[in-house]
Amino acid sequence: MTISVLGTPWAAPGEQQFSLPTSLMLKLALGEAPEHVPSIRDVTRGALAAAQYIDGGPVDRILAAFAGCFRAVRPFSAVANRWISGQAHCGYDAVEHATGMSRTLLVRVPAGVSIAALCDSLAQLVSVESVTPNYVAVVPMDAPGRLAPVPQAAPSAQDARAMVRMAEAHAIEPGDSGVVVGLIDSGIARQHPEFAHAFRAGADTVRMEPGDLSPGVQLLSGHGHRGDFPEDRFVGHGMGCAGIIAAEGVAMPRGLGGDCRILPMRALAAARLPGKPHAVGLGAIADLDRALKLAVDLGAKVINMSFGTDDSAVAAHRPKPHADTVAYASARGCILVAASGNNGSVTRYWPAAYPQVIAVGAVDDNGRPTSFSTRGEHVALCAPGEKVLTSAIDAYQLATGTSFAAPFVAGAAALLVAYAQRRAYPLDGETVRDLLVTTARPFAPGAAEGCGAGILDAAAALQALSQRIDTYVAAGDDGGTPEISKEGRADDG
């Protein structure tokens, strides 16, 4: 069972699956955002109080008519003033304005309000660019998403790494501790022996509360961390991804990202669904978006997103989740990687389906796409995603799902970034996608339509990057310091 079968009577047809009953995301048009609405960071920390009015006009009148009262905050802090108490809602730059970071408000209303009808009414205003219920994404992303303890007779842990040619890749590029991979997930276990040096401080953006979910859903860890270290005590999903990217090789293979560092962003709350013994991660779109923007602002060059919202769960007239934050991250030069989904169908999960995102499917030990891997033209390539040995909260686990294929690609991207930086070569997300896709190895014989170009080959991608840089330099485009002639003058050629 996933959250899609739970009753959510506050939502409109087509969006029963993932709506929160008490909040919505309101994006105002350029020039319409009020200056007085504070950042959620300052409200959470007690520096400012949430706003009780927005425009003193039609927006407020509609909210009052539907909800009676409401509270509004900005989910995104300005990068320039984030650390200045009481000023995190001031000083947004041009990129933050253009992508909507400065103009988006998170509005909380009393329980029982018809969120869908309220959104439809607000959408009619010329001052409103878009409005959407604060959907909830769930991981695992449909079946199977299995996390299992490591049995005594576990399969060779090297198989998955050999498939992506990790050893050969590390011989070319061991990774760089200056390359930061943002991990938007359920959090991590900081005391795990595989990560003595890998974790940066990170943050916790979860603001979900028990009343935000359907009856029968038990929230195990939601609101309350208030920006503390992003610790995961129940789910283990984030730890599974972290091990594939940056494990130090104590009792499992090293992470594919080598010496890279992980910036853990806890954006998925732990919850237990009716009739299910194991915890899952539930993430409100606002919490996930806040984590994504913050990871960018804190210097992540690569971001792994092993979560998603099925397109069928979003009403056709609603904005797609994460569009603005994906645009923001791309504008800042981040390389975005996401799991394609686990429903085995030709469909789209967001954020994987965005063109700025590298969508990753899963293959089995034989190099064939798994039956559960979500397919589609947007899928770029595949990586191992069945019974992958990786880290858990307490020890180790065998992880299955596209959630654990995506971190292989994120790790490979981190190696590409490290190699490019060593050679002073500019590298963007489009170039990384091209390198990974054009060097992917063919699938084993069998049906693979909609699964992308093939299987990740990290070593071949690095070799292709090396050749590209050599060609770039040979053409005289290295952009380096001009040579100095014997006369002491710079020789511009």
Question: Which amino acids are annotated catalytic?
Answer: 185, 237, 403
Q: Are strands 490-491 and 483-484 parallel, antiparallel or unpaired?
A: antiparallel
Q: Which of 410, 419, 409 is nearest to 172 (CA)?
A: 419
Contact call for residues 103 and 129 (beta carbons, < 8 A): yes
Interatomic CA distance for residues 405 and 370, integer angstroms? 11
Contact call for residues 416 and 457 (beta carbons, < 8 A): no
Q: Which of 280, 271, 214 is nearest to 6 (CA)?
A: 214
State residue 278 phi and psi, 5-degree precision: -100, 145
Interatomic CA distance for residues 418 and 257, integer angstroms? 9
Using the CB atoms, write b or e for 166-205: b if 16+ within 10 Å: beebbebbebbeebbbbbbbbbbbbebebbeebbbebbbb
Cis bond leading into 174, ω under 30°? no
Cis bond leading into 144, ω under 30°? yes
The encoded tokens of residue 466 equal 């090396």
Q: Under 8 Å CB-to-CB from 83, ≥6 apart: which residues? A: none
Torsion of CA 315, 318, 319, 320, to 10 degrees: -10
E-strand stretches of 158-236:
180-185, 203-204, 218-221
- Which amino acid, residue 375? R
Interatomic CA distance for residues 416 and 418, integer angstroms? 5
Interatomic CA distance for residues 193 and 390, integer angstroms? 12
Contact call for residues 45 and 77 (beta carbons, < 8 A): no
Q: What secondary structure, in 3-state letters, does 4-47 show?
A: HHCCCCCCCCCCCCCCCCCEEEEEECCCCCCCCCCEHHHHHCCC
Q: Which residue has the tokens 């022996």?
A: 193
DSSP state of 482: P
- Phi-psi label, residue 462: left if phi above 0, alpha if psi -120 to 50, beta otherwise: alpha
